[in-house]
Amino acid sequence: MYVAKHNGIVNFANMQNPTDLAKMTPYQQLSADLASGQVPNLSYIVADECNDMHGAPTWCVDSGKPGDVDDNWLVARGDQFVGQAVNAITSSPMWQAGTNAIVVTFDEGNVATSKIVTVVITNHGPRGVKDNTSYNWAVGYYADAGFAQRTLVQHWDGTAWSVIPSPDPGAVQNILYGVAALSDSDVWAVGADQDANRVWHTLAEHWDGTSWTVVPTPDPGSSGNQFYALTAVSSSSVYATGQQSGAAFPSQALIEHWNGRSWSALTPPADPAESLDPFGVTGTDAALTVAGARESDAAPFTTLVAAGNPQQLNLLTTPNASSGEQDLFGAATAPDGSAWAAGWYINPASGNHGTLVEHGAGGQWSLAASPDPGTGDNGLAAITAIPGGGLWAVGVTAASGAFSTLIEHHC
| Full DSSP string of 97-157 | SS--EEEEE-S--SSTTPPPPEEEEESSS-SS-------EEEEEEEE-TTS-EEEEEEEE-
- The pLDDT of 229-234, averaged and rounded, is 96
Predicted local distance difference test score (pLDDT) of residue 62: 58
Domain boundaries along the sequence of the chain: 4-122, 217-410
Question: pLDDT band for position 307 (50/70/90)?
Answer: very high
pLDDT at 43: 86
Q: Which pLDDT does position 382 carry in this prediction?
A: 97
- Residue range 270-297: mean pLDDT, rounded: 95
Q: What is the third-level CATH fold of 217-410? A: Neuraminidase (2.120.10)
Q: Return phi, psi of residue 92, to 5°.
A: -85, 155
pLDDT score of 387: 74
pLDDT given at position 109: 56
- CA–CA gap between residue 341 and residue 359 (Å, rounded): 7
Residue-wise pLDDT tens digits, 87-145 = 989 988 888 887 889 998 876 555 555 566 788 888 887 766 666 556 699 999 999 99
What is the C-alpha to C-alpha distance for residues 232 and 186, in angstroms, rounded to an integer? 10
pLDDT, position 63 = 57
Residues 53-79 have a mean pLDDT of: 65
Per-residue pLDDT, 306 = 98
| Nearest Cα residue to 51 out of 28, 20, 32 | 28
Looking at the predicted structure, is the pLDDT value of residue 70 above 70? no
How many CB atoms are closer than 10 A to CB 129?
A: 9
Q: What is the mean pLDDT of the chain?
A: 89
Is 2 a residue whose pLDDT tops 70? Answer: no
pLDDT, tens digit, for every residue of 195-222? 999 999 999 999 999 999 999 999 999 9
Query: Could you say which DSSP state residue 291 is in?
Result: E
DSSP codes joined into one string, 185-216: TEEEEEEEEE-TTS-EEEEEEEE-SS-EEEE-
Percent of the chain with pLDDT over 90: 61
Comparing 67-81, 150-164, 233-247, 355-369, the range with the smallest average pLDDT is 67-81
> Global pTM?
0.71
In whole angstroms, give the CA distance from residue 364 to residue 368: 13
